[in-house]
Chains A and B, each alone.
Chain A
Amino acid sequence: MYEGVIGSLIERLGKLPGIGPKSAQRIAFWILEAEKQDIDDLANSIVEAKQKIRFCNVCFNVSEEDLCRICRDPRRDLKIICAVEESKDVIAIERTREFKGRYHVLGGAISPIDGVGPDDLRIKELLKRLADGVVVEVIVATDPNLEGEATATYLTRLLLPMGVSVSRLASGLPVGGDLEYADEVTLGRAFEGRRRIQ
């Protein structure tokens, strides 16, 4: 057992996600051997991130200012909102370069068994954004698992009466894969969501 400063460093590092006691020990010794400047930079980045990063007032994506980069961008289409579970999903969708609208980060999915209900997500905030009638379409991009599907069902039921069109991301076969290796649920979905070739 390590004592004192090194002991508490190892213990703190061990609390990071995916870091076990052995990895924590390895990182701690790496820190001891690294250049002082590198470690100062690392410590500053952590402190700075924690101080500066907050949520965008409109879409609840992580941001350094009141509005995030996407909500500030005048070229983004105001008529379409893509609702996602986490900020990480915004980055994933941005990488596709397919979507030109704005986002809404719900903050998770409805999961009764974990005690997470509709009121624990930012659904009210989404409805508020639709109130002025500018938005014509909401794309529900929750995870393609059961909680995500049920959240999409719940949202659809709320959104349709407001007169916006609601769509759900397609699910199906991964690009570059073989059909024979697809599981039956995904393949079934791919059939359901097949599109006509003009």
Chain B
Amino acid sequence: MPVFRDEAVVLRTHKLGEADRIVTLLTRNHGQVRAVAKGVRKTTSRLGARVEPFSYVDVMFATSKSLHIISQVESINSFGSQISDNYPKWTAGQAMLETAQRLTIEEHEPALQQFLLLIGGLKSLVTDDHDPGLILDAFILRSLSVAGYAPSFANCARCGTDGPHRAFSPSAGGMVCSSCRPPGAAAPRANTVELMSALLTGDWEVADQANKPERTESRSLTAAYLSWHLDRQLRSLRLVERT
């Protein structure tokens, strides 16, 4: 059975049969990979602790025609145990994993940028650099950009006219000018637009200063933008606990 080895982050797991799990991973070089981890639900399994969601691992896959089989795993960093004792962080992290999973849906299609972004996001979550909710929104906006759906916050997303503009429309791709504005477009506060733009570009000095109303508004616009591009809502997003 041919094998391949890669670094990966565990995105989610499903129970399979009596004691196995199907593990969905985002790998550095092979994109999203689904593989079977045998016997991991038994208490005697040495693999079990290493293939939990959020685990950053060095993994060896034995390839097969249907699902690959995980043959060896070494931990690089188990983000999970550092996140699970803080509920808001953990729920934000879960939404990050789900976003990464939805945006790298094509198996074995390399997604190095998404992988690096996810590692960066999880590290930031663990080190308590910023509010978990802001880290999540920054992650969503940036992973959408990597996937080719970067929102425009300055120029009009339709006609390119220089901003600032006042209307935000997920379907148009960001801020739109008054003549391009589709019906039902949101009219966010100027500070909210500034916050979202800061989250996208990584300007944390601006983002950390944002007040609660802007954070709340940015969160709902980010969620709307994400669900427009995914054609569905993230299940975990409504369960994220914001502080």
Binding site for B on A (CB under 8 A): 18, 110-115, 117-118, 145-146, 149-150, 153-154, 157, 174, 177, 181-186
Q: Considering the chains assembled together, what is the distance between the CA atoms of A153 and B95 in angstroms?
A: 18
CB contacts (< 8 Å) of A18 on chain B: these are 17-18
Q: Considering the chains assembled together, what is the distance between the CA atoms of A145 and B41 in angstroms?
A: 9
CB contacts (< 8 Å) of B95 on chain A: these are 112
Q: List 30 A-B contacts (CB under 8 A).
A: A18-B18, A110-B239, A111-B94, A112-B94, A112-B95, A113-B53, A113-B97, A113-B98, A113-B235, A114-B235, A115-B235, A115-B239, A117-B238, A117-B239, A146-B52, A146-B53, A146-B54, A146-B80, A149-B84, A149-B85, A150-B84, A150-B90, A150-B91, A153-B84, A153-B86, A153-B87, A154-B87, A183-B46, A183-B48, A185-B49
Select one of A111, A115, A117, A185 contacting B81, CB under 8 A: A185
CB contacts (< 8 Å) of B111 on chain A: these are none
The residue on A at minimum CB distance from B44 is: A174
Q: Considering the chains assembled together, what is the distance between the CA atoms of A195 and B240 in angstroms?
A: 36
Nearest first, the 8 closest Cβ-Cβ pairs linking A and B are A112-B236, A185-B49, A115-B235, A149-B84, A112-B239, A112-B94, A117-B239, A183-B46
> When A150-B90, A181-B46, A183-B47 are in contact, do A113 and B236 touch as well, CB less than 8 Å?
yes
Q: Considering the chains assembled together, what is the distance between the CA atoms of A174 and B42 in angstroms?
A: 11
Rounded to whole Å, the gap between the CB of A166 and the closest CB of chain B is: 13
CB contacts (< 8 Å) of B48 on chain A: these are 145, 183
B72-101: which have CB < 8 Å to A?
75, 78, 80-81, 84-87, 90-91, 94-95, 97-98
The residue on B at minimum CB distance from A149 is: B84
Rounded to whole Å, the gap between the CB of A176 and the closest CB of chain B is: 9
Q: Considering the chains assembled together, what is the distance between the CA atoms of A186 and B52 in angstroms?
A: 12
Rounded to whole Å, the gap between the CB of B10 and the closest CB of chain A is: 9
Beyond A112-B236, A146-B90, 19 extra complex contacts between A and B, CB < 8 Å: A112-B94, A112-B95, A112-B239, A113-B94, A113-B236, A114-B235, A115-B235, A117-B239, A145-B48, A146-B53, A150-B84, A153-B85, A153-B87, A154-B87, A157-B87, A174-B43, A174-B44, A183-B75, A185-B81
B90-138: which have CB < 8 Å to A?
90-91, 94-95, 97-98
Is B12 part of the binding interface, using a Cβ–Cβ cutoff of 8 Å? yes
Rounded to whole Å, the gap between the CB of B234 and the closest CB of chain A is: 9
Number of interface residues of B (CB under 8 A): 32
Binding site for A on B (CB under 8 A): 12, 17-18, 43-44, 46-50, 52-54, 75, 78, 80-81, 84-87, 90-91, 94-95, 97-98, 235-236, 238-240
Q: Considering the chains assembled together, what is the distance between the CA atoms of A111 and B52 in angstroms?
A: 13
Among A18, A113, A182, residue most surrounded by chain B Cβ atoms (within 10 Å): A113
Q: Considering the chains assembled together, what is the distance between the CA atoms of A114 and B47 in angstroms?
A: 23
CB contacts (< 8 Å) of A154 on chain B: these are 87
CB contacts (< 8 Å) of B53 on chain A: these are 113, 146
The residue on B at minimum CB distance from A119 is: B239
CB contacts (< 8 Å) of A177 on chain B: these are 44
Q: Considering the chains assembled together, what is the distance between the CA atoms of A118 and B65 in angstroms?
A: 39
Q: Considering the chains assembled together, what is the distance between the CA atoms of A16 and B72 in angstroms?
A: 31
Q: Considering the chains assembled together, what is the distance between the CA atoms of A113 and B96 in angstroms?
A: 10
**Quick check: B78 and A185 within 8 Å, CB to CB?**
yes
> When A146-B54, A157-B87 are in contact, do A186 and B239 touch as well, CB less than 8 Å?
no
CB contacts (< 8 Å) of B90 on chain A: these are 146, 150, 153
> When A146-B80, A149-B85 are in contact, do A186 and B235 touch as well, CB less than 8 Å?
no
Q: Considering the chains assembled together, what is the distance between the CA atoms of A18 and B20 in angstroms?
A: 12
**Quick check: B91 and A112 within 8 Å, CB to CB?**
yes
Rounded to whole Å, the gap between the CB of B23 and the closest CB of chain A is: 12
The residue on B at minimum CB distance from A187 is: B49
